[in-house]
Structure 1
Amino acid sequence: MDDRMFRNAMGKFATGVTVITTEVEDQVHGMTANAFMSVSLNPKLVLISIGEKAKMRDRIRQSKTYAVSFLAENQKEVSMQFAGQIKEEREFEFDWLNDMPVIKDALGVLTCNVVGEHEAGDHTLFIGEVTDIRLKEEVEPLVFYQGKYRELTALKESIPN
């Protein structure tokens, strides 16, 4: 199997879209990621996967903290900005939770302290213990499937009013 086939297969798994943020030396840093999962309920642990070439990897190692913002369906441009797909320089105003930068109006945000780090191929897995959570009701998620942003229209149509 070649790399393209593997990427295509992974693209068949629909995911939400997150922005991972951290702060190092009073500078906020963020990156779009869909490699996120919950790990444990007790203690409350989550995992993010960061590529070895991503600057965020060293920043999380330095700060020992990260926040995860689950993007809402109307935040595609936010995802594109933190994925480096928008090349023009833009100011971005963060919200704050537990003294950590998070994405304003995200459908959910959580803050974490790094409690574990594991090398896995060309990525580093950071296990974070959740320290705070904020949720926004009545907001649909931004979804990524087969390399494109999607909406949950089928689900919306099947929910009775």
Structure 2
Amino acid sequence: MDAREFRNCMGRFATGVTVVTCKAESGNHGFTANSFTSVSLDPPLVLVSVDRKTKAFKHLKNNAFTINILNDEQEDVAMHFAGRPKETEPFNWVEGEHTTRLEESLAYIECVAWNEYDGGDHVLFVGEVKNFEYNDGNALTYFAGKFSTLSSEVQAV
């Protein structure tokens, strides 16, 4: 199977854009991710799929993390955490109860480590939700290798 073509196929699934953040001894870390989903309401669990080669990967093991769901004005934040850092950080860190998060996201979901599973070249991290908050606004989305926007009018349907 051609890995590039498989990736192109998977890119036809429109997703929201998140930045996963955590705090370690070496400081705050994060990476852009679109492989994120809700798992359970009772207990409240979410899952993020993380490439083993991601720089922040090693900081997630047995660690609290926050899923920051980005708004349509945070494309530069997504790119910063996707390996194209800006000279000055296009965001502010906020200290949460269990770990750090990004200010001004459309929503955040703060989690403690629940479990992790082998996923080939990825690891599936499941977190138990401890805190969350969401705001009105438009979502930053990703489709076929490009950023786009999902307006709140469409979301309300």
Same fold at TM > 0.5: yes
The answer for the alignment partner of 1:148 in structure 2 is: 146
Shift of 1:156: 4.4
Task: Tell me, yes or no, if structure 1 residue 50 matches structure 2 residue 53.
Answer: no
Q: Quick check: 2:109–2:131 contact (8 Å CA) kept in 1?
A: yes
The answer for the alignment partner of 1:73 in structure 2 is: 72
Q: Quick check: 1:110–1:134 contact (8 Å CA) kept in 2?
A: yes
Query: Following superposition of structure 1 onto structure 2, how do residues 61-140 of structure 1 map, counting pairs within 5 Å?
Result: 61=61, 64-86=63-85, 88-91=86-89, 92-137=91-136, 139-140=137-138
Deviations 1:62-89 (A, max 9, x none): x521001000001000101111123x43
Q: Which structure 1 segments of 5+ residues have no match? A: none
Taking structure 1 as the reference length, the TM-score comes to 0.88
State the aligned residue count. Answer: 156
Query: Following superposition of structure 1 onto structure 2, how do residues 14-33 of structure 1 map, counting pairs within 5 Å?
Result: 14-25=14-25, 27-33=27-33
The answer for the alignment partner of 2:7 in structure 1 is: 7
Q: Which one has the bigger helix percentage?
A: 1
Q: Quick check: 1:50–1:56 contact (8 Å CA) kept in 2?
A: no
Deviations 1:17-41 (A, max 9, x none): 0000000016100111101000001
Taking structure 2 as the reference length, the TM-score comes to 0.91
> Who wins on radius of gyration, i.e. which is larger?
1
Q: Distance in 2 between matches of 1:47 and 1:65?
A: 13
Q: Quick check: 2:64–2:110 contact (8 Å CA) kept in 1?
A: yes
Q: Distance in 1 between matches of 2:130 and 2:155?
A: 35
Q: Distance in 2 between matches of 1:150 and 1:93?
A: 23
Shift of 1:100: 2.0
Q: Percent identity?
A: 38
Determine helix, strand or coil for the equivalent of 1:29. strand
Cα RMSD between the aligned structures?
2.1
Deviations 1:117-153 (A, max 9, x none): 111110000000000001112x110000000001236
Q: Distance in 2 between matches of 1:22 and 1:158?
A: 28
Q: Distance in 1 between matches of 2:72 and 2:129?
A: 24
